[in-house]
Chains A and B, each alone.
Chain A
Amino acid sequence: MEGAAVLGGLRLISIVPPAARADLVRPPGAVEEAYFNLMCIRCGICFEACPSKTIMLAGFEKGAASVNTPMINPLIGPCEYLRGRCEDAMRCAEACPTGALQNVDKAQVKLGTAKLNQELCLAYNGRECLVCSEMCPLPDAITVTEDQKPVFHNTICTGCGACVNACPANPRALTLLSEGERRARWP
Chain B
Amino acid sequence: MQMHEPQKVGRRSYLKYGGVGILAAGIAGAAHLLQKPEMPTGHSAQLTNVPSSGTKPLSTETHTSPQRKTTLITEGGKSLVSVVKGGSSTDIEAMVRRAVESIGGIQTIVSAGQAVVVKPPVFASDKNCAPDVRVVLAVVKMVQEAGGIPVVAESSGSGDTAFNLAKVGVTDAAEKVGAAVRDLQTEREVNIPVPNGLALHEVKTYPTILNRDALISVPRLKRHSSATVTISLKNMMGTIPKREMGRFHSVNLSQCIADLNTVIRPDLTVVDATYAMTRTGPTGGDMIEMDAIIASEDPVAADRIAAQKLQELEESIGLSPSRLFKAADVKHINAAAELGVGTNNPADMQIIEKLLS
Q: Do chains A and B touch in the complex (CB under 8 A)?
A: yes
**Interfacial residues, chain A to chain B (CB-CB below 8 A):** 43-44, 47-48, 51-53, 56-57, 59, 61, 67-68, 73, 75-77, 80, 83-85, 122, 127-131, 133-135, 139, 144, 146, 148, 162, 166-170
Contact B249 A122 (CB under 8 A): yes
Check A135/B226 contact, CB under 8 A, given A56-B47, A122-B250, A168-B246. Answer: no
Residue on B with the closest CB to A144?
Answer: B225
Contact B249 A47 (CB under 8 A): no
Contact A168 B50 (CB under 8 A): no
Give 9 nearest A-B pairs by CB, closest first: A168-B246, A129-B249, A44-B40, A128-B253, A130-B225, A130-B226, A56-B45, A168-B249, A128-B226
CA distance A61 to B52 in the complex (A): 23
Residue on B with the closest CB to A83?
Answer: B159
Give the contacts of B162-218 with A (CB-CB under 8 A).
163
CA distance A179 to B322 in the complex (A): 35
| A11, chain B: closest CB distance, angstroms | 31
Residue on A with the closest CB to B163?
Answer: A85
Assign chain B's interface to a size class: 35 or more
- Residue of A47, A77, A122 near B43 (CB, 8 A) is A47
| B293, chain A: closest CB distance, angstroms | 26
| B234, chain A: closest CB distance, angstroms | 12
Interface 1/0s, chain B 140-178, versus A by CB < 8 A? 000000000000000001111001000000000000000
Chain A residues contacting B52 (CB-CB under 8 Å) are 77
A-B contact pairs, 15 of them (CB 8 A): A47-B43, A48-B43, A75-B47, A84-B159, A85-B163, A127-B250, A128-B249, A129-B226, A129-B249, A134-B226, A135-B158, A166-B157, A166-B242, A168-B245, A168-B247
CA distance A80 to B167 in the complex (A): 14
Seed contacts A57-B39, A73-B47, A166-B157; 12 additional CB < 8 Å A-B pairs: A51-B160, A52-B159, A77-B53, A83-B159, A85-B163, A128-B253, A134-B157, A144-B225, A146-B322, A168-B245, A168-B247, A169-B250
Check A134/B40 contact, CB under 8 A, given A129-B250, A168-B249. Answer: no
Chain B residues contacting A48 (CB-CB under 8 Å) are 40, 42-43
Q: Give the one of A76, A134, A135, A168 with max B CB within 10 A.
A: A134
| A87, chain B: closest CB distance, angstroms | 9
Chain B interface, DSSP helix/strand/loop, else mixed? loop
CA distance A53 to B40 in the complex (A): 13
Contact B160 A134 (CB under 8 A): no
Contact B125 A85 (CB under 8 A): yes
CA distance A129 to B251 in the complex (A): 10
- Residue of B50, B125, B282 near A84 (CB, 8 A) is B125
Q: Give the one of B227, B247, B250, B322 with max A CB within 10 A.
A: B250
Whether, in the assembled complex, B13 has its beta carbon less than 8 Å from a beta carbon of chain A, the answer is no
Contact B53 A47 (CB under 8 A): no
Q: Give the one of B43, B225, B227, B254 with max A CB within 10 A.
A: B225
| A158, chain B: closest CB distance, angstroms | 16
Contact B249 A85 (CB under 8 A): no
Q: Give the one of A130, A144, A167 with max B CB within 10 A.
A: A130
Residue on A with the closest CB to B45?
Answer: A56
CA distance A20 to B152 in the complex (A): 47
